[in-house]
Amino acid sequence: MATKNDIQELSPKALWKNFHKICQTPHPSHHLEAISKMIMDFAQQLNLEAVQDEVGNILIRKPATKGMENRKTTILQAHLDMVPQKDSSVNHNFETDAIQTIIDGDWVKADRTTLGADNGIGVAAAMAVLESKEIQHGTLEVLLTADEETNMVGAFGLKPEFLEGDILLNLDSESEGELYVGCAGGIDANISWKFIGEPSFADDIALKVTLKNLKGGHSGLEIDLGRANANKLLFRFLKEAIISYEARLAQVEGGNMRNAIPREASAIISIPTNERSNIEKLISEYEALFNEEYKAIENTIILTVEEVEMPETIIPEEVQDDLVNAITACPNGVFRFIPEIPEIVETSNNLSIVTSTADTIEVKCLLRSSVDSKKEELASMVESVFTLAGAKVEFSGSYSGWNPNLKSAILKEMSELYLEKFGVAAKVQVIHAGLECGVIGATYPNLDMISFGPTICHPHSPDEKVNIPSVQKFWDFLVATLENIPTK
């Protein structure tokens, strides 16, 4: 049974105490005022130099401990923001409410919301190092970036003269015992239609169709698990309702974060009154179909329908049909695995968000790839699908992947140290997610970089949880690494 015990009593206490403080401070992407103030106040209380740049990145410097002045300057890097996702059954405002943590056996999770262990554990670890008087280390820089979860705003905004370090330890990976030396690049697809709404039919009724209870998850780390995409499933149903029962689409709302696999989607449709029983039957059939298709992967998928007030306007039929066909045809999920490492995704797309207003439809996708040419190929496919459907297609936020350096000095040092400390070899990995190392490395090409962290399951979803024993190992390894940083 889960119990709401105090995470501040967990070990290592210095880390968990700071993670508790982070959970008490709202910090969803684009709402970092409170956590930025908390961090700046924290640095001031420690009498450490701290600056914040124009995009919101915070840099804190700590001098080397006695006898360690000859070590290379090390940057501890994590991001300040968290992905705000919650179950529909909980009333939670990420901009004002604290995260309610729960200890469940060997795991810490939240009460039906994302936990923010991604990347709060990394931030908490850096804070614990800064306030420690026992850890031996060379000169330290702690870089806490802004809005990583939404287009890596902070990493892209870094100025070349901001950092002075030689080695960067990114504390944002999610499998303890793995050292990441490369990651995928990405690009955002922004798709839109403008239209003039048509008057709704006075003799029709309006129904709200809602698809929910999917697992969702991280669109990089969990894109290969075959989980359902709420937008894709909803539009499968809508296409059948339009073709068979004269349904007309009035509104749609699916997904809310570009880097989270959409868990819920809903639409308001207009139908002839005499078709209501047919729509209700279709709802039951598709709910059963979806659950049969995803019975080994998903939670119980819920598809419901309820009568609502008729909107004043509906989407023009031509635009509606173009939208439905384009969403149906849009590539989603894994596009290609790395040929040389077939268990790792090379290229993927997440059909993240579909929303409408009275005169606009917007679709957002996040495309990832560790190969720029394959990213461009997939982007061209997405562009072609939606351009043929009459939409405006724009791409933004493109960044290249982080190319592995298997001759890295810090990789060699940390690999040997892990084996010596834990008796097993750390796995050297490339990740299909957008670590900030790739973006930071473009501005600071001489940095020796590596990424590691504790075990975090299901980030970017309300099922997110962090493994308690792995946090202790991550902390012990971080401390040992700092104490063994190479000399200049």
Q: Which residues are catalytic?
A: 81, 148
3-state secondary structure of 9: helix
Strand partners, 217: 261
Nearby residues of 109 by Cβ (< 8 Å), 6 or more positions away? 2, 101, 102, 115, 463, 464, 465, 466
Strand partners, 449: 168
3-state secondary structure of 398: strand
Residues in the chain: 488
Separation CA 24–CA 45 (nearest Å): 19
E strand or H helix that includes residue 155: helix 153-156
As a whole number of Å, the end-to-end CA separation of the chain is: 51
H helices then E strands: how many in the chain?
11, 25
Separation CA 363–CA 69 (nearest Å): 52
Separation CA 222–CA 224 (nearest Å): 5
Residues 433-472 as b/e (b if ≥16 CB within 10 A, e otherwise) read: bbbbbbbbbeebeebbbbbbbbbbbbbbbbbbbbbbebbb
